[in-house]
Amino acid sequence: MQSPNWNSKNLTKLALLTGLSLIMFLVESLFPPLLPFAPGAKLGLSNIFVLISLLMFNLPMTLIMIIAKCSIAILFTGNVMSLLYSLTGGIFSAVIMYGTMGLFFPKVSVIGISLLGGIAHNIAQLLVVSLVLESFHIFAYLPVLSFAGALAGILVGTVVFYISKANIPEL
């Protein structure tokens, strides 16, 4: 984990990661949900770039990336409520992953960190839904969505693991 300067090179890298994350979000939005009875269950492939950002930069820069991606995404999807869900899930997930990295990395691998992030994302979204609907019955989906979040987290973490091992020249 690094704490980079807010220089133009790092801001350019962050903008690139934000754009890639947004593109992945938009591509993934074209596909149906993984679980027909749980509309929010997706692979979360845009989180590949969130995790890369956490590895390259720090939490504040990653949070800026998440806010930018979620804000721009509503311009394409037209769903303002999705901003509330995705922003809350993304921020909570990033905070959990960053904290886990700070406390347990490298004892907990990037895959394990991503797994926790996937579960945290779904918990935050369920909490927002329960507050909007003023009902906590939605938490009946927690076991299923936790399982889906864990699988998505493993997939995202595995991709990031292999990207981090590749010999990619610095931008």
For residues 70 and 50, the answer to whether their CB atoms sit within 8 Å is: no
Does the pTM exceed 0.75? Answer: yes
At the top level of CATH, the class of 8-165 is: mainly alpha
What's the token pair of residue 122? 């779904």
Query: How far apart (Å, rounded) are the C-alpha atoms in residues 22 and 74?
Result: 11
Interacting residues of 167 by C-beta distance below 8 A, sequence separation 6+: none
pLDDT tens for the chain, 171 residues long, are 455 678 899 999 999 999 999 999 989 888 887 777 666 677 889 999 999 999 999 999 999 999 999 999 988 888 888 888 889 999 999 999 999 999 998 899 999 999 999 999 999 999 998 999 888 888 888 898 889 899 999 999 999 999 988 866 664
β-partners of residue 38 are: 35
Which residues have C-beta within 8 Å of that of residue 89, sequence separation ≥ 6?
A: 120, 121, 122, 124, 125, 128
